[in-house]
Chain A
Amino acid sequence: MEPFDTHEHEVLVIGAGGAGLRAAIEASAMGCSVGLVTKSLLGKAHTVMAEGGIAAALAHLDPQDGWQTHFQDTMKGGSFLNHWRMAQLHAQESPDRVRELEQWGALFDRTPDGRILQRAFGGHTWKRLAHVGDRTGLEMIRTLQDRGVHQGLDVYMEFTVTKLFTDGGRIAGALAYRRDTGRFVLFRCKAIVIATGGVGKAYQVTSNSWEYTGDGQTLAFEAGAELIDMEFLQFHPTGMVWPPGVMGLLVTEGVRGEGGILRNSKGERFMWKYLPEARRHEYAADEAEARAWLDAAVEGQQTEARRPPELSTRDNVSRAIYTEVREGRGTPHGGAFLDISYMPAERIKKKLPSMYHQFKELADVDITATPMEVGPTTHYMMGGVRVEPDTGAATVPGLFAAGEASAGMHGANRLGGNSLSDLVVFGRRAGAGAAYYAKGLTATPRIPDAEIEAEMRGLLSPFERASGESPYEVHRALQECMGTNVGIFRIEKDLETALATLATLKQRAARVRVEGGRTYNPGWHLARDLRNMLVVSEAITRSALLRKESRGAHSRLDYTGLDPALGKVNMCAKRSGDGMQVGPTPLPEMPAELKALFDAAPQPAGKAT
């Protein structure tokens, strides 16, 4: 048998972003021996990319705010597909979690009276986002990281977990390899918390890093857990598609608010064509009127002129860009031109400084001189491991999940700012749940040697093939398949095509060949991550096929309306044999007192406090 190291912990946390760190801190504070495994170095997780802030009804600026309003906002944002209990817990506990971060050393921006400053954000009724400039995620991860390492966590950096073991249906441990040496490591543990983040790398245009390959979802799925809401993948309508240096990076809506014009490759300002008839009267009739509105906005004056068509709703803008590209009027790199360069350069620099610097520094693109190419970009996975709201327990005993890897909190669509608070609220709960479970377990579960050996053999097989494709080829094909067929707008035929393609890709992925040795070999790492991406891609596609309606982030061109019956179910993916079974599962019923919050008209109902 291939040699391996063994580590033993009561609780193993996979993923060291906000949720993983918070879970590990909690489990360790409850007296458990905790191992924290991360694919990257500590503190590099995707949490650092979060800019806007952390949503919590602290009511520092708007005293009317309270958890009820935050709860309502979250449920409405999620098209009521959220697990009500998660949304409730999140709204109730996030203020405590924010204060806790501060007590652990985080330095939030301040109000003039010396309290935590909050800013307004889309979908939130009141000013709710505690923030640190535009680097809130970094502040959060540093705070948690330092708290964690001083609390005595054992951190395993640059380890990739490839399999979870069960003993009589209960979690027993996990196998990992060290990315730096390629050596295998067996973790024996009683409970595992999955906090591995999202799935964005299955798509080519994404704001996500290489780590986001759906590892946690796949590990849980293969261990027998259920995945729900996988069809809800948040796309942002304006991400950069070109140049490659900034592909997928978000372009804030503020660009359009400042006068950004969307054009196709023929130079046509196409948004007028896509205004829904019912709301056409809200928008400018021609270029002159749009310009008049903009001039007035620049001067800060009132005007009779109506808004430019680019300020239509997000889904509508995405639909428009998508259609233009599909019909052959896309830019050379498959997007639309977003042009603000006709505005005075000084004004652009003043109103959009971060955008200006982002492009100038990272891409050498001067947005005051050249139009940007934009298109929808994969952003956030609402779906994931189905968990019990209070403890984060998955359907497999001993398995817990939190953060983006878990599901239920955000329903069909996530509000900005709710992800950072999700991480700490449910990270803490999952950590506590895992610790509680592990403490209650008397016998240490066992792992059969044969299973360990089989997994190691499987991992090493790409080295042994004399010929075979490069994993990069298969990855490219997967990204193309998902981008083309399971993108922001879906249609039955495409989804069927995707399923067929995924089946062949699965075979290709099983036959890839890897060059070189086991020491820090990214080709080998990708060969393994491919498998995970294929599993989550299949779950996304199958769930999307079943949801024959357009709701939240899931838009079907063949079913454009809402289906009330589908509003009462989540799509649930579960392993059956070697395959995947997807079907509807009823949404938990909201208790009457919470339902009453929505009946009380008019909204917003912050007065409920």
Chain B
Amino acid sequence: MSPEPQRKLSSSAGVAPAAAPSYRPATCTPPGAWRGAGYGQPFGATERTDTWWLMPLAQALGLGLLGLYATWAAFQGAHYEFGNYLSPFYSPLLKPAWWPISPAFLILWIPAGFRGTCYYYRKAYYRAFFADPSACAVGEPRKGYRGEVGFPWAIQNLHRYFMYFASILLVFLWWDVIRAFIFTDPDGSHYLAIGGGTLAILASNALLTMYSLSCHSLRHLVGGKLDCFSCAVAGGPRHGAWSRLSALNAHHMGYAWWSLFAVCFADFYVRMCSMGVFHDPMFVTFRHLFDYAPKISHFLL
């Protein structure tokens, strides 16, 4: 090249760098070469003056208690139905003869896996149970750390498959919501009503749905994976869906907690009714709705 400063346009204008990208390690420094004062600080060591331990403690208690309840309820294998109510832990109700334990375990691995690999719950339990870290800028108990590299934690990468299964489950769960509205008289006729259990099951499913819709993996699949919306097929609608899901995604933590509470409560409510502890109140009753089309309710049930 013959450099000539008076020329009109730069030689470098618009020319992309010639070198092809090479995949070297992110740094070429040997381990430990950049150690700061934070390395190897003992568990809990920090200059923080706030109550940093409160949040991980609350999370551990919340997750622990709800997790214990869910496990206990799943093991019961009884009192999961009350009339037209079905506990969400047992839906869809599968009872193959060869299955030795509670039917809950046939389906419960789906929500457990969905939540267990959830990007929000991972944060919560890594902090609360693994102290990895328990709070920001606080010393950790363990020396070795591999993050989500390698077995077993690389399994977190299959979050989207749990999301697929959970979406199928949601269809059954919405079926249960419809059933929770349809009550049966002693004479076998059906009527529409709203009872306490109806509301509990409806709330649980609505929140589960919001939790699923705000999933990070779903957001990625509907549009997040695109680099350029306006260059893609159906880019406009995908951008619309992506931005709406992104708005929900900002509240993923809230939906995670509320849906967990709600689903446990729905099971608890059905269980208590079934055990005769609660008396299920009826709020609204539409007695003759199915008189003209009894087949509808038969089909739904």
A residues in contact (CB < 8 Å) with B: 25-26, 29-31, 96, 99-100, 103, 114, 150-151, 390-391, 428-429, 432-433, 435-436, 439
Contact = CB atoms under 8 A, between A and B. Distances in A.
Contacts of B28: none
A390 B3 CA distance: 14
Given A391-B5, A432-B5, A29 B17 contact: no
B3 A432 contact: yes
A99 B4 contact: no
Contacts of B12: 25-26, 29, 100
B18 to A, nearest CB: 10
A26 B12 CA distance: 7
Interface in B172-230: 230
B5 A29 contact: no
Interface of A is mostly: helix
Contact of A436 (B5, B13, B19): B5
Contact of B11 (A29, A96, A103): A29
B1 A390 contact: no
B3 A436 contact: yes
A151 B11 contact: no
A439 B5 contact: no
Contacts of B3: 30-31, 432, 435-436, 439
B14 A390 contact: no
Given A30-B3, A390-B5, A151 B10 contact: no
Nearest to B10: A428
Given A150-B17, A151-B17, A26 B10 contact: yes
Nearest to B6: A390
B284 interface: no
Nearest to A430: B5
Contact of B14 (A26, A103, A391, A435): A103
B85 to A, nearest CB: 49
Contacts of B14: 99-100, 103
Nearest to A92: B8
B293 interface: no
B33 interface: no
B1 A30 contact: yes
A513 to B, nearest CB: 32
A423 to B, nearest CB: 14
A114 B235 CA distance: 15
Nearest to A100: B13
B1 A31 contact: yes
Contacts of B1: 30-31
A537 to B, nearest CB: 33
Contacts of B13: 96, 99-100, 103
B17 A432 contact: no
A25 B230 CA distance: 32
Interface string B1-38: 10111100111111011010000000000000000000
Contacts of A433: 5
Interface string B61-73: 0000000000000
Interface of B: 1, 3-6, 9-14, 16-17, 19, 230
Given A114-B230, A436-B3, 18 more contacts: A25-B12, A29-B12, A30-B1, A30-B3, A31-B3, A96-B10, A100-B13, A103-B16, A150-B17, A151-B17, A390-B6, A391-B5, A391-B6, A432-B3, A432-B5, A433-B5, A436-B5, A439-B3
A223 to B, nearest CB: 21
A54 to B, nearest CB: 16
B4 A436 contact: yes
Contact of B9 (A96, A390, A435): A96
18 contacts: A26-B12, A29-B10, A29-B12, A30-B11, A31-B1, A96-B10, A100-B10, A100-B12, A100-B14, A103-B14, A151-B17, A390-B5, A391-B5, A391-B6, A432-B3, A432-B5, A432-B10, A439-B3
Contacts of B4: 436
B239 to A, nearest CB: 14
Nearest to B18: A151
A513 B19 CA distance: 51
Given A100-B14, A151-B17, A429 B5 contact: yes
A160 to B, nearest CB: 25
Nearest to A30: B3
Contacts of A391: 5-6
B31 to A, nearest CB: 23
Contacts of A428: 10
Contacts of A151: 17
A375 to B, nearest CB: 38
Closest 7 CB pairs of A and B: A29-B12, A432-B5, A103-B14, A30-B3, A433-B5, A100-B13, A391-B5
Nearest to B14: A103
Nearest to A27: B3
A29 B230 CA distance: 34
Contacts of A432: 3, 5, 10
Contacts of B230: 114
B204 to A, nearest CB: 40
Contacts of B16: 103
B264 to A, nearest CB: 41
The CB with the most chain A CB atoms within 10 A, among B3, B16, B17, B230, is that of B3
Nearest to B230: A114
A518 to B, nearest CB: 23
A110 B185 CA distance: 64
A448 to B, nearest CB: 30
B75 to A, nearest CB: 53
Nearest to B19: A150
A29 B1 CA distance: 10
B13 to A, nearest CB: 5
Contacts of B19: 150
A130 to B, nearest CB: 16
B226 to A, nearest CB: 16
A55 B134 CA distance: 49
Nearest to A435: B3
Contacts of B6: 390-391
A433 B9 CA distance: 13
A153 B177 CA distance: 65
B232 to A, nearest CB: 15
A534 B3 CA distance: 38
Nearest to B17: A150
Contacts of B11: 29-30
A103 B14 CA distance: 5
A151 B15 CA distance: 12
The CB with the most chain A CB atoms within 10 A, among B3, B5, B13, is that of B5
A151 B3 CA distance: 17
Contacts of A103: 13-14, 16
